[in-house]
Structure 1
Amino acid sequence: MSEPTAPAAPAAPAAPAAPKTDPAELKITGLTKSYGPDAPVLQGLDLTVPGGQLAAVLGPSGCGKTTLLRVVAGFLRPDTGTVTVGGRTLSGPGTHLPPERRRVGIVPQEGALFPHVSVARNVAFGLTGRDRAARRKRTEEMLELVGLAGYGARMPHELSGGQQQRVALARALAPEPAVVLLDEPFNALDSALRSGVRADVRAALRATGATAVLVTHDQQEALSTADLVAVVRDGTVAQCATPQDLYRRPADPWVARFVGDAVLLPGTAEGGSAVTALGRVPLAAGTAGRQEGTVLLRPEQILLADPSPADARGTVTEVCFYGHDAMVTVDVDGLDDPVGVRMAGHVTVRPGQRTGIRVTGEATLHAGR
């Protein structure tokens, strides 16, 4: 294959010339997988990713994220359950298609490019059954799509970490897969590169219309990148929702703590609001009747102000400044556990200072304490 000469700087990402493929829904039902009688990993996991969307699978170490990806890719056979893409069964009772027949692309950690061949040949690796001209055309389209037009002649070691991840994505997208699996692909990148590469990957997936699953342990990455976020706990999906709904209305206190910072207060709900140590807090729609439970707020919903008779009061114990915002810890009068308050802009409070505390917006109530 002839390869173009590399320029000094990458071109901006552009839409591909090739037509988009029809997006295919990924549907996983009742998936179980164990590595022995005493080592269950997936325990009846259900997950549906609509065609053309990106779902982030988020969860603590050992919850089954990577095992799920390997089952969808065909590297592992599930004990029970089904995996279908666009209505086509990949795994199920009596069926287990090998990886090469699944139309599933994979972007592994750290790219995993072939070090002894050029970028162009890496991208063209999966383009079997096409003549040389078609392979070259598709390779050039994919490199243009990920912002590396003209980089085909370079060797992988001549690229930065972010560029290598873009090449890995181009290689995964080149055969026009129905589903793309991304296994923590940004882990090896420093924070300055990570957000830019994430944005480029998201744009490339949207341009091709591929359905995608991103496995990550980074909550901010999941919330900022995905159309849907599935939180996995003990081998099942604890909650799957849009990033906004997941953050604002988590299914239970565990999900609330795992996805972002949470303020959890005992409270008694009645008449659409809850009485708490921070005062009466409006509740989201759907809470009816009188009940006791745990009231969930986010730190940015709490404001510190000069004390007034209507405000709860507390003492500032710690201020952690992060530049774009700060997290202030307050011991609230009448509350056993301290409360975290997220403040933007200039922070004027200091440890030891007394302050008034006010709540903005709605809370959610979870039964039990």
Structure 2
Amino acid sequence: MTDHGNELRIEQLTKSYRSGAPVLQGLDLTVPGGTLAAVLGPSGCGKTTLLRVIAGFLRADTGTVALDGRTLAGPGVHLPPERRRIGIVPQEGALFPHMTVARNVAFGLTGLDRGERRRRTADMLDLVGLAGYGDRMPHELSGGQQQRIALARALAPRPALVLLDEPFNALDSALRAGVRADVRSALRATGATALLVTHDQQEALSTADLVAVVRQGRVAQCDTPQDLYRRPADPWVAGFVGDAVLVPATVHGSGSTATTPLGTVTLTAPPQGRSTGTVVLRPEQLQLTDADTEEAVRGTVRDVFYYGHDAKVTLAVQGVDDPVDVRVSGPLSVGPGQEAAIRVTGEATLHP
């Protein structure tokens, strides 16, 4: 088992490319030892640059990167990649095509005798569920198996940190969930600290212990998946992490409720000195209901998207600029052009 002291601490990291455009702009991030953290953000926000700086492939302009209390990058310090104790799982697995699976896994095991290398390789193949595959060549494996072997190769030298660069991108959606679960189990079994870079919100929320949302080179919010989804730091984060319904709101006297075009909404916390703002709701907090229900608000159905396990009904509601999304489970009773009534359930956050 790996020591759980392998904390990753990044402080005030900046990086600009020759064009002069800043990519990382004072980024701060702490990942506790033994934690799988996802770095989530839109294209061009600095996710890949951050990964390359941590790995040592790029020099930061300013700021520090420390792992397990050891400075990897900082003023006057730039440890080369091979001295950082970091394992990397690239997008395509990138196995050596001319080597057997076993030799791929053992590639980074320097300084061990042959027997120990064999044992460690067998342990790693067992860990990723591919015991007995050591004599195969990479081209004989499926995409999911290749990604598992890439993970085994990254974990074999017992790194302090594993970096996963959108490792499930090339897999089809049916395979992706299974490989994700296997990768998470293997990381937990070794106690490794890991950083997963992704632009897939569902992947981040379902896989990681912590999710850091990066916007324009800074961490906009870092939280557990549940807190990130339920208490987003601002409307942009809310809209980026899942579907969000944003409605204007006026706070009542005590600050515990607000009036919106969708009715009265209970607030998670009273706002500090603000009487108006934007309330963030999730589509599953809205319910289709009978028109005569107290607190119901009427709207016109614009569209219906049926997914099998549930459906999304989009309505136009007076006082709300954008269409309002409602998640519906069970049989659908409405169609485009029809009138429908909705009501809000649960609590919401108010943003000035």
Provide TM-score, normalisation by structure 2.
Answer: 0.97
Distance (Å, rounded) in 1 between the aligned partners of 2:63 and 2:237: 25
Identical columns (%): 75
Q: Using the TM superposition, give the Cα deviation of residue 334 of structure 1 relative to its aligned residue in structure 2, in angstroms.
A: 3.7
Query: Cα–Cα, structure 1 residues 50 and 315, in superposed 2: closer, same or farther, change >3 Å?
Result: same
Q: Map residues 136-151 of structure 1 onto 2, 5 A cutoff.
A: 136-151=118-133
Query: What are the within-5 Å matches in structure 2 for residues 255-274 of structure 1?
Result: 255-270=237-252, 271=254, 272-274=256-258
- Name which of 150, 164, 168 aligns with 2:150: 168
Shift of the 290–37 alpha-carbon distance from structure 1 to 2, 3 Å rule, reads closer
Normalised by the length of structure 1, the TM-score is 0.93
- Give the alignment partner of residue 298 of structure 1, picking from 257, 278, 282: 282
SS in 1 for 2:91: coil
Q: How does 1:182-261 map to 2 (within 5 A)?
A: 182-261=164-243
SS at match of 1:198: helix
| SS state at 2:347 partner | coil
Cross-structure match for 1:46: 28
Are the structure 2 counterparts of residues 100 and 286 from structure 1 closer, same or farther at C-alpha, using a change threshold of 3 Å? farther
The alpha-carbon distance between structure 1 residues 41 and 334, as it changes in their structure 2 partners (threshold 3 A), is closer
Q: Does 1:279 align with 2:263?
A: yes
State the distance in 1 between where 2:322 and 2:206 align: 30
Q: Deviations over 1:264-321 (max 9, x none)?
A: 0001112201100111000002435551000110001000111016311111111011
User: The residue matched to 1:287 in structure 2 has which SS?
Assistant: coil
Q: Alpha-carbon deviation of 1:59?
A: 0.5
Partners in 1 of 2:94 and 2:108 — Cα distance? Answer: 14
Aligned-residue offset at 1:72? 0.4
Shift of 1:39: 1.6
Q: Provide Cα deviations, 1:209-251, integer angstroms capped at 9, x if missing partner.
A: 0100000000000000001100001100011011001111111
Partner deviation per Cα, 1:329-367 (whole Å, 9 max, x = no partner): 111134333201111222221112211111000011000
Q: Which residue does 1:15 correspond to in 2? A: none
- Structure 1's unaligned 5+ residue stretches are 1-18
Asked if the contact 1:23/1:210 (under 8 Å) is kept, the reply is: no
- Counterpart of 2:161, as a letter, is V
Mapped contact 1:326–1:343 kept (Cα < 8 A): yes
The structure 1 residue matched to 2:53, chosen from 71, 78, 81, is 71
Corresponding residue of 2:328: 343
Q: Is the partner of 1:172 in helix, strand or coil?
A: helix
Q: Distance in 2 between matches of 1:70 and 1:115?
A: 24
Deviation at 1:200, TM superposition (A): 0.3
Distance 1:129 1:348 in 2: 67
Number of residues of Structure 1 aligned to a counterpart in Structure 2: 349
Matches within 5 A, 1:318-357: 318-357=303-342
* Residue pair 1:312, 1:333 contacting (<8 A) in 2 also: no
Does the CA contact (< 8 Å) of 1:58 and 1:216 recur in 2? yes
